[in-house]
Amino acid sequence: MAATLLALRDVTKRFGEATALAPTNLEIAEGSFVAIVGPSGCGKSTLFNVIAGLLRPDAGEVRLEGELVTGATGHVGYMLQKDLLVPWRTVEDNITMAARLTRRVTNADRLEARRVATEYGLGEFLRHYPSALSGGMRQRVALMRTLVTHQPLLLLDEPFGALDAQTRLEMQQWLLRVWRDTGRTVLFITHDVDESLFLADRVLVMSPRPGRVVADFANPLSRPRTMETLTDPIFIELKSQVMRLLHGGQR
């Protein structure tokens, strides 16, 4: 069993009267790919913002590699559905953005940006501005920008939510390749059950009012995952279990 990378202990967050996140305990193993599914308003993004340090929890603590990081930033890679590429920088300069925001950009940063972009098929677009790229390419640049921060934990909040189905499937496969190549730990928010089961080793289901984790599934589907995975009986069975949890109250 791999070591624990991230540990949450009794993390709680309220906004006024509403409990956005009920006391939550969570351990994420190093190198794992964990998906969080849940309807909107279930506290997924609040959980992410607490882990990223953007929100300070009302109670509880966040530990990364054993170190207390509650309410502190600068410890994780973070990516949203919006690519958040800055239009005034080229692809290369967008990839090196984290370095530019924290220190001087070095030649090593630029070389790495070029290496990553070349390796993942955007080598010819290094000097392009983001406006010249398609949605899928922009998300890829955003993920590269997240990768070169060298943070062990990547928080991806519905990164492919705005893409069309075709591009989305390509991006999912590409993300799995990047994950395998780099050995990072990924925490992936989605409200798409198929996506969570296709990508992750472990699927957490959250439910709203108050936001909390209601189920924790291990996903035994073998890797590499392909199109066939989507029709595997185990996949179908897991999917129906997760769906029952998500929509159980409405039936």
Contacts with other proteins, residue ranges (CB under 8 A)? 52-54, 73-76, 78, 80, 82, 84, 86-90, 97-98, 100-102, 107, 110-111, 114-115, 117-119, 123, 126-129, 131-132, 149
Q: Toward other proteins, which CB reaches closer, 38 or 53?
A: 53
CA dist., res. 229 & res. 110, Å (int)? 38
Angstrom distance (rounded) from CA 204 to CA 214: 8
Pick between residue 109 and residue 195 the one whose CB is nearest to other proteins.
109
Closest by alpha carbon to 204, among 186, 189, 194? Answer: 189
Nearer to other proteins (CB atom), residue 128 or residue 239: 128
Q: How many CB atoms within 10 Å of residue 41?
A: 15
Give the shortest CB-250-to-other proteins separation in angstroms.
Answer: 31
Shortest reach from residue 102's CB to other proteins, in Å: 6
Q: Which is nearer to other proteins, 134 or 226 (CB)?
A: 134
Q: How far is the CB of 86 from other proteins (least distance, A)?
A: 7
CB nearer other proteins, residue 132 or residue 214? 132
Q: Please answer whether residues 174 and 96 qualify as being in contact, where contact means their C-beta atoms are separated by less than 8 angstroms.
A: no
- Tell me the closest approach of the beta carbon of residue 29 to other proteins, in angstroms: 22
Q: Are strands 18-29 and 4-15 parallel, antiparallel or unpaired?
A: antiparallel
As given in the structure block, the two tokens for residue 187 are 């925490």
Q: Is the dihedral of CA 84, 89, 90, 93 positive or negative?
A: negative
SS3 11: strand
The total of other beta-carbon atoms located within 10 Å of residue 218's CB is: 9
Minimum Å distance from CB 214 to other proteins?
A: 27
